[in-house]
Structure 1
């Protein structure tokens, strides 16, 4: 029988150079035909000069995490050499400099006027920044407009805790948000912008900040809001999806703002026509921001994601969390987008656990009560073994040996890490283990311990499953 030759291995996709991305951006500008988005669009020759400089830095071996990225900046954030009101600043805002230093290239400045949506020109789209992202002209956009434009154009928006971003060169009292097509890209940019610059006043994370909300986060959400039919359907779908993922959702009356881990809100109640938004800009803006406007007043962080990005219906949801608990909002939002959970760069310590502190095991609550964040499964190199200790609840002692072991990596704030370390009793200690990815984090293990060997098992869960199905036997 004749058979076809096997398919060749897929050729890895080579990311575009900065110059290629800039050319593609200007081609997209021509295709989209949306001059209303821009207050100042840089000349293609000038942008290409910046892009070629990025390409040369990459060729020279520099690690530029945003190489091949183009972004837009609103009028109220300074870009060196670009008109800003009546002046032309000599230096860019700190947050802009940090993005360009990482390889991103500024395409232009977006306007503050209300423009049409990216997907339906008869509908309002808010300001131009979110529209430029939605249309694929730019990869990222900074904005002082908050969650509403992101929802109107089916893009993601992150507004961090006020004070985490330096405001040098930002001529606005409003918090800065970053728009992107997905959470991963927005979070990467936000991480690069975060941190003091020695000029403007910034805030630092508390030593005991919570980094996670456990496997069953408690989320409040408002009931009986005046939503359009499509917005109500989208919001109800998110409530069901979060519940299915293990979250505990509790209805509240909007205005009480009494929530535990997060508050889930529909970002906009409906999608107004552009004609209406232009005729009554203040009234429409007040209506659209009714659900999320109080976030600034209450010092909350916000993560906005589209709910129905496939058909471009602009009904996103926003997760509000307490100041500095930005990571919790990011992790919850990934349930809606199916993107990988990625860490925000808050200070913290990592610890690997192998036994009763694993998820679903008796002592896991000691970690979650401290606000620890599960960051993923791990495996050691071939240099360890487990013995069964005489403890209550049962736990393994991890010693030097000749096998690999499966465990979990958790991240805690500095103060939480100290409290966790204080809970460990003999024979447990915190000592480094070598993982198969080459890292050597601290782990809960033993330097010496007596007990039956568990050499046939590569994980504590494997031993627990064995005993639960086969009954108690010699561990072997």
Structure 2
């Protein structure tokens, strides 16, 4: 049976239903591994006979095709994640040990029917974003071996992009689960820190490390992550998920303002980022430029602040006796932690929390951030010539994510002007918005039509489509004191309300100033046949409970009814009883309540 290059879950499921067996698939994987032109993908491949034995054991345990969520799905694991029977090296031969148990994530994936095909290469001790810091060699971009693969999860990304695995696990502290995805035309799923357990994972920065998924599609990555996640008391940083909803439509997406754009001279990536913004608009998103400076300043703390000391904490005993076994650049970075003390650690934490407070203003105006995954890429030769500075370029738009506890999904953004090298964009959402991010990320990937991994022409299967989630929020139109910046807006923002859009009513509405109201309030009246220009309003979304409280507290003569907007849609909103406007001043000609309040202030 002829298999496609990319072994996405939907295609593999169809193949199994048509008669393919896990044993036959394993033989195909063995053949593909032997034919691979990149010798630095794996540190320890699963031996051929062990792969065959795993396939046979699966068929004995669950003989019915597709009877388990990941029945017969081949995957690779970054070599800082324990797999029983295979050594864990973390990219350092002298550090190697034989784990007696699988990491929690590996055990869960095996229980779901997945088959481990090997341990993949990485920047040593997961310290780097480029993939060249390994004594086992540098994995290369699947599109041009002169270029870096991205790291630290280098081999994992290349294994998936070259068709050796359906998915692979990486880890992400600074962007290691996202940058290699961008450089190899893949999806990178970076969960909220604590959602997926780290038990059995060699730490880099234990407090912010995350196990990630490289996959061909967002739907694949989501399905795999759901198998792995769930609270694990053995991991001190494991957290019980509290899912966060996002608007099912009309996302407000934050994008870089002009002042914070930096692509290190790579015009191709900048063009692809602008094209992604236009794609987001075409999908119904509202684009909101925001100030990236506080996020960038937080990102700088990860490598230029006391968090480097956490890397030393992870290997302090080993480096004390085996310093010469470290990659020179990795050693320089980790030993640089000795310049920090406990006071620096606390002061770094204070600075991070101060920056977090500043970023809250951005989250009042956006639902999601969309940034370039990496502003540029480099050849292996260029990277080795300036390994710290150029590696730092890769992390400009990634390093902040885990410090702030965000969820993120990286998706392809297309290829440069020559159709040569790919780039990517990443969507960031609040903690535990992981599932809510997925539908829009999937839609962005599908509208691109840039294939999957090395296969630029592959069509993303319809079966892997991620359906939009019902966010459970109730839309409401506000016209006066509840508008953004007005005295009663807190009644919307307090219970977690989200601004969907600013728009206008249909033309046949009139607006009046209601007398003797505190704070001042308008009365909105519909007059069929009136030929106005429409009035400025805002559409918000609130939880059903908040909507109920909101309606209960509305004072007469105001009430809730259907307001027709300029696009013809009808949304529940504030309307006024007709008798209340007798003798009231009409302000329809001003175009809205905000204009009236501006006039009132000017005349005060």
Q: What is the TM-score with the length of structure 1 in the denominator?
A: 0.69
The aligned residue for residue 73 of structure 1 is: 77
Q: Which has the higher contact order (CA 8 A, sep 6+)?
A: 2
Q: Secondary structure at the match of 1:116?
A: coil
CA distance in 1, matches of 2:399, 2:120: 22
Task: Identify which of 179, 187, 190 aligns with 1:156.
Answer: 187
2:111 matched to 1:101?
A: yes
CA gap 1:252/1:416 in 2 versus in 1, 3 angstroms: closer
2:375 matched to 1:292?
A: no
CA gap 1:213/1:60 in 2 versus in 1, 3 angstroms: closer
The aligned residue for residue 201 of structure 2 is: 170
2:216 matched to 1:181?
A: yes
Task: Identify which of 336, 340, 349 aligns with 2:465.
Answer: 340
Task: Identify which of 237, 240, 243 aligns with 2:281.
Answer: 243
CA gap 1:197/1:299 in 2 versus in 1, 3 angstroms: closer
Deviations along 1:291-312, whole A, 9 cap, x unmatched? 1111121111110001127956
Post-superposition shift, 1:423? 8.4
Post-superposition shift, 1:370? 6.2
CA gap 1:167/1:151 in 2 versus in 1, 3 angstroms: same
CA distance in 2, matches of 1:196, 1:275: 43
Q: What is the TM-score with the length of structure 2 in the denominator?
A: 0.55
Q: Which runs of 5+ in 2 are unaligned?
A: 1-12, 90-95, 124-130, 132-138, 296-361, 447-463, 478-491, 499-540, 553-569, 571-604
CA distance in 1, matches of 2:497, 2:240: 19
CA contact under 8 A between 1:220 and 1:252: conserved in structure 2? yes
Q: How many residues align?
A: 368
2:169 matched to 1:142?
A: yes
Deviations along 1:145-200, whole A, 9 cap, x unmatched? 22111111111001110001111101113221110111111111100001013322
CA contact under 8 A between 2:65 and 2:71: conserved in structure 1? no
The aligned residue for residue 147 of structure 2 is: 123
CA distance in 1, matches of 2:75, 2:101: 17
Task: Identify which of 39, 45, 60 aligns with 1:41.
Answer: 45
The aligned residue for residue 432 of structure 2 is: 324
CA distance in 2, matches of 1:110, 1:331: 29
- Cα RMSD between the aligned structures? 3.7
CA distance in 2, matches of 1:322, 1:99: 26
The aligned residue for residue 537 of structure 2 is: none
Q: Secondary structure at the match of 2:71?
A: coil
Q: Which runs of 5+ in 1 are unaligned?
A: 1-11, 361-365, 372-411, 426-463, 465-476
Task: Identify which of 241, 247, 254 aligns with 1:205.
Answer: 241
CA gap 1:13/1:171 in 2 versus in 1, 3 angstroms: closer
CA distance in 2, matches of 1:93, 1:324: 22
Return structure 1 stretches of 4+ with deviation > 4 angstroms: 309-312, 357-360, 368-371, 415-425
CA gap 1:60/1:137 in 2 versus in 1, 3 angstroms: closer
2:97 matched to 1:87?
A: yes
